[in-house]
């Protein structure tokens, strides 16, 4: 008889991370590449490309990010059933590929927890649940920052700020399961930063040619909210010729876009609490997600909060790539067996 597995999934707008109860894990782009034409199909040898092959996508491919802008995951846009079905199929392909890479038979998966944005609409939660149940019929969804909090053991006196590609999700942890109305979702994230960096770079160099994945990689490597900083020299095609360019100013200007939405979102999350609770939450603010790793963001957020509240302590989560998936896994493992049994009966 095969061993049953618990699985935690962080189904991100940009990346999907999966962790299993027997210590396997994987992180892949939340994207699907399809050949542009018959020649491209011959070059790729496949009808669709997923996983690591999309970290540096071939020009033979049209790359689709099915959750771009956090659509379907945060809110449902329109009622086109064919579009929804296509997105479901793409996400299933990504999860199926990841499970295969991990050597997992889906029949082994008995418990699955998936993160969703804090204030995700019910139809969007159901959509993510439908995705998860293609992997495990007994899947459930929880707020993404709550999954992070559970994974790092900060269930009280902590404020989790999960900065993803599509949204910023803020969850006060006060010793109970977080109510929807106590959380905040801001519709700005890493994708908006990428667009701002692109616009700033093209304003400086209108004839520059580059790819979106280049911008994303440079942001993840050198991203900073500092007004000034060291040169970030990269080679780009400008007016048809290679040219060394200082990418730093455009990078820093774009990254600063995230600063005020984070601070405003924290203010909103704190406003309904009394002074003593606010003080406890401000003492442990945790930045999670890829956007939370931008250099200097923690210090700048802390400085802004101290101007208003006098005290604040902001830190970055360890292992931001897998923090959400690890917390989702811990929830799956810790949840009582009778809960999973009831879901199995209802499936």
pLDDT for res 1:
42
Q: Which two tokens stand for residue 327?
A: 């917390």
pLDDT of 344: 53
Query: What's the average model confidence in pLDDT over 278-303?
Result: 95
Helix-strand-coil percent breakdown of the chain, rounded to 5? 45, 25, 30
Share of the chain above pLDDT 90, in %: 65
Angle at CA of residue 30, ends 24 and 31, nearest 5°: 130
Tell me which of 84 and 162 has the higher pLDDT.
162
pLDDT higher than 70, residue 62: yes
Residue-wise pLDDT tens digits, 110-127: 889 998 888 888 888 888
Question: Which of these, 299, 191, 197, 188, lies nearest to 253 by C-alpha position?
Answer: 197
Q: CB count, 10 Å around CB of 187? A: 15
pLDDT of residue 76: 53
Give pLDDT tens digits for 191-206. Answer: 999 999 999 999 999 9
Mean pLDDT of 243-258: 93
Neighbouring residues of 269: CB distance < 8 A, sequence distance ≥ 6:
159, 170, 171, 172, 182, 183, 184
Does pLDDT of 2 surpass 80? Answer: no
Residues 6+ apart with CB under 8 A from 321: 15, 17, 27, 290
Tell me which fold the domain 5-151+322-346 belongs to: Nucleotidyltransferase; domain 5 (3.30.420)
Rounded to an integer, the average pLDDT of 22-26 is 95
266 or 132: whose pLDDT is higher? 266
Q: Which two tokens stand for residue 220?
A: 């993840």
Position 342 scores a pLDDT of 60
| Number of Cα atoms under 13 Å in the Cβ half of residue 134 | 17
Q: Are 17 and 29 within 8 A, CB to CB?
A: no
| pLDDT above 70 (res 53) | yes
Average pLDDT across the chain, whole number: 89
What local confidence, expressed as pLDDT, does residue 71 receive? 63
């Amino acid at each position: 008889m095969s061993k049953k597995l618990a699985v935690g999934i962080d189904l991100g707008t940009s990346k999907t991370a999966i962790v299993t109860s027997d210590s396997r894990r994987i992180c892949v782009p939340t994207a699907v590449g399809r050949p542009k034409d018959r020649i491209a199909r011959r070059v790729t040898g496949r009808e669709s490309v997923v996983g690591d092959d999309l970290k540096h996508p071939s020009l033979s491919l049209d790359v689709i990010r099915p959750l771009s802008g956090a659509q379907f995951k945060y809110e449902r846009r329109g009622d086109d059933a064919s579009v929804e079905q296509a997105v479901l199929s793409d996400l299933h392909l990504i999860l199926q590929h990841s499970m295969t890479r991990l050597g997992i038979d889906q029949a082994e998966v008995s418990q699955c927890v998936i993160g969703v944005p804090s204030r995700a609409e019910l139809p969007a939660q159901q959509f993510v649940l439908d995705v998860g149940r293609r992997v495990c019929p007994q899947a459930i969804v929880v707020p993404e920052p709550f999954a992070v909090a559970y994974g790092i053991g900060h269930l009280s006196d902590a404020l989790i700020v999960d900065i993803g590609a599509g949204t910023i999700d803020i969850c006060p942890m006060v010793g109970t399961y977080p109510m929807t109305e106590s959380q905040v979702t801001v519709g700005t994230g890493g994708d908006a930063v990428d667009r701002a960096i692109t616009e700033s770079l093209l304003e400086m160099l209108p004839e520059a040619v580059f790819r979106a994945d280049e911008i994303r990689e440079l942001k993840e490597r050198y991203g900073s909210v500092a007004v000034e900083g060291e040169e970030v020299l990269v080679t780009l095609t400008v007016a048809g010729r290679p040219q060394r360019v200082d990418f730093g100013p455009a990078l820093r200007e774009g990254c600063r876009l995230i600063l005020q939405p984070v601070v405003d979102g924290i203010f909103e999350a704190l406003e309904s609490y009394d002074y003593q609770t606010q003080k406890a939450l401000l003492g442990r603010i945790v930045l999670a997600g890829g956007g939370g790793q931008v250099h200097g963001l923690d210090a700048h957020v802390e400085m802004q909060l101290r101007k208003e509240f006098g005290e604040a302590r902001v830190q970055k989560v360890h292992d931001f790539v897998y923090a959400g998936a690890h917390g989702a896994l811990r929830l799956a493992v810790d949840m009582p067996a009778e809960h999973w049994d009831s879901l199995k009966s209802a499936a």
